[in-house]
Amino acid sequence: MKARAAVFLVLVAACGQGKAIFNVDVYSFMAGTGKDKISYAIPPLGSGSAATFQKVQLPPGFGSSIVDSVRITIGSADLMNTGGAGQLGFSFFFAADSAGTLSAASALDVPATSVSGNNTVPVTISGDLSPAIHSLFTKDSLWMRVVATGTNSGATPLTGTGVLTALVIRVVLQDKIL
Amino acid sequence: MRTAVVALTLAVLALAPVRAAHAQISFDARRLGMGGVSLGRDGNASRYNPAYRAVKNRSGLGTGSPKVTIPIPIGLYSFFRDHPINQLTHDPAFNPDSAGFNPVELLNLVLNPPIFLDIRKPPAPTNDVEFTIGKNQLIMNLGQTRVLIPDQSFGLGTSGRLLDLGAGFGAFHVSVMGFVNYDVRFTLDSALRSVLKDSVPVRADSSYFILTEAIAQTGLSPTVSYAARLWHPAALEPTAGAANGAPNPNADDGVYFGAAGHYYFGATYGRGVGPAGFTVGSPIFGVSPSVLFDGVVHTSNKPNGRGIGADVGLAWITGPFEVGVGANDIGAQLTWSDTKVQRILYDPNGDSISTTLLANHVASTTKLPISYIANASLRMGTGTTVGGDVFNAGRGTVIHLGAEQRSGPLALRGGVARDQRKKLQFGFGGGLRFGAFALDVGVWTSSSTLADKRAMTMATSISVY
């Protein structure tokens, strides 16, 4: 960790004034681990949610930096519905630890998408994250909780799996690194 | 320990564009205004050409060397106006806690002390840098700063003589001088260069390093030198051919030869070679990179370096024309009879550095780099003097060309130079002489900054003739 910090700090410092931009491919850390999937099963005329957690490692040493912006620039998911009809949306929560994500305010809400039958519906995820959580991105690591929230408008259970297919978070820092 | 090694390695890399510009450093505004050339018989000519020990200085002939040159540090006024001395502790330029702190600017300040006035400051790079990070992906886009990543070896070094204490009798001179030589050279391996310069993705299970070669040696050198005019035109009396008893302007005509033999007593020496960098695992961000540091270091056990070397030089002066050539430390090779060889290796498991003795009490040899200079000047009789020199002190050839036009007390100067980085630099200036005193101003460009762009600086000095 310290060696990695040194790599980034020295390179950023050598580049003088400017911004340090980190495109963190969060999905690459989730893919293949099962954390990229959220299964849902919502009873008829009801609502429910399911979540997945992921720890995000960030370049260390930027604790004094000022975060200009944090944005999901590339994000997508497939809603692989296997039965029923309803709507599903995603919300992203961030905190310093996993437990904190349970009480944190949502940093980004993706509008609900309609699903029905045995179909796969792609969803685009993008947008600026709430400034309230910017300071978390100056830390060495943080936790992300992705919540899939659904409402079932039909008479049969709404079942399926939401599968993340891409998630890149772009962090722009004023590189006050020392 | 690991952090320190990686930080040091990458700091060296990041500061790669720091290049010495020894030839540009002078406090003489006249010389700086002519692109670094000295039309007198001082400076590099007398230092590197032993024949000039027999040549009289041209002081008093207008184009000659002053007895004393006193720099006027007008740059300090500007510096302390921008950075009040009573507020330095809170100055953003020096306070790492400040958002305005820029380590690159600070290093520029160290490399370019504000003795002279910066007319055009070396621009500090302002740049966004972008890193793309994935579990098995790392791409660095350094933006405009990529131009600072060197394609070839880089480093710093010099070979100098610290003092020269002795006495002369006739054409001979016996002295003891100190010598010091150091040379540090870094070479990026091609993979690291591609990552930094071309934004090529870092590959898993790969090493990225800088190959470092460094040597430092110092000692004393008893020297016997000879310098004399071997030939001169007949009947050149000091005042012959001059009107009104004035000094004969051709009194220095002739061919001069100088040579010196050195016996080197090496006091201490060290030499190290090896890679320093890091190795990434697989996946790249699955494990922390491990430090790669593996060097072989030679050091002297005792101050017992021995060797011989020689300097030789020639100068020819005929009327207004003068040319010289000289070389130092020819064949200077030192044998160190008692040295040890150690391997210094970073152990990532223990996060420590281990030292292994490979050989002890063995002999090693080192060389001092040959320095050479060729200089020429021509007084054209209309108050115009032109000159130039080619100079190499072991770190690349520097070429200076300059001219001075005198008209009464006024002097105008200009020059051009090719520096150690093979970049053209320019100088211009002027001077006003009042009897034995002269006030000179010189403006020159330089590229010895991290910004890799020319800066322009103005120097002022007072000369006493």
ipTM score of the complex? Answer: 0.85
Between CA A38 and CA A47, with CA A43 as vertex, the angle to 5 degrees is: 70
pLDDT at B125: 58
pLDDT profile of chain B (465 residues), mean per 10: 42 40 61 84 80 75 68 84 79 70 67 78 70 89 77 77 84 92 88 90 91 93 94 62 59 91 95 90 81 92 94 93 94 94 88 90 93 91 90 86 92 92 89 91 77 79 87
| Chain B residue whose CA is closest to A20 | B129
pLDDT at B349: 79
CA closest to A29 among chain B residues = B135
Q: What residue ranges do the domains of chain B occupy?
A: 2-73+115-234+249-464, 77-113
Determine the CATH number of domain A2-174: 2.60.120
Backbone angles phi, psi at A91, to 5 degrees: -130, 145
Please answer whether residues A70 and A42 qualify as being in contact, where contact means their C-beta atoms are separated by less than 8 angstroms: no
Using the Cβ of B136 and the Cβ atoms of chain A, whether some distance falls under 8 Å is answered with yes
Distance CA B156, CA B111 (A): 12
**Per-residue confidence at A175, pLDDT binned at 50, 70, 90?**
low
Of chain B residues 194-253, which have a CB less than 8 A from chain A?
196
Nearest CA to B149 among B453, B455, B450, B454?
B450
Closest chain A residue to the Cα of B3, Cα to Cα: A3
Interface test with A, best of B1, B131, B291, B351 (most A CBs within 10 A): B131
Indicate whether A126 pLDDT > 70. Answer: yes
Whether chain A has a CB inside 8 Å of the CB on B101: the answer is yes
B277 touches chain A (CB under 8 A): no
Of A14, A21, A66, the CB nearest to B14: A14
| Domain range summary for chain A, segments of one domain joined by + | 2-174
Cβ <8 Å between B103 and A13? yes
Backbone angles phi, psi at B7, to 5 degrees: -60, -45
- Rounded Cα distance between A130 and A149, Å, is 19
CB within 8 Å of chain A, chain B residues 14-53? 14-15
- Distance between A73 CA and the closest CA of chain B, angstroms: 12
Query: Is any Cβ of chain A less than 8 angstroms from the Cβ of B108?
Result: no
Of the candidates B11, B15, B101, which has its C-beta nearest A178's C-beta? Answer: B101
CB-CB neighbors (< 8 A) of A164 in chain B: none
> Which chain B residue is nearest to residue A27, measuring alpha carbons?
B134
Which residue has tokens 């963190």?
A24
CA–CA gap between residue B90 and residue B69 (Å, rounded):
36
In the prediction, which pLDDT does B3 show?
44
Distance from CA of B417 to the nearest CA of A (A): 29
Among the partner residues A19, A24, A176, nearest to B133 by beta-carbon distance: A24
Q: How far is CA A47 from CA A41, A77, B307, in A?
A: 9, 20, 90
Residue keyed to tokens 């002390």: B113
What are the residues whose beta carbons fall under 8 Å from the beta carbon of B335, sequence distance 6 or more? B305, B306, B307, B363, B364, B365
For CA atoms B30, B32, B38, B42, give the dihedral sign: positive
Contact criterion met (CB < 8 Å) for B137 and A25: yes
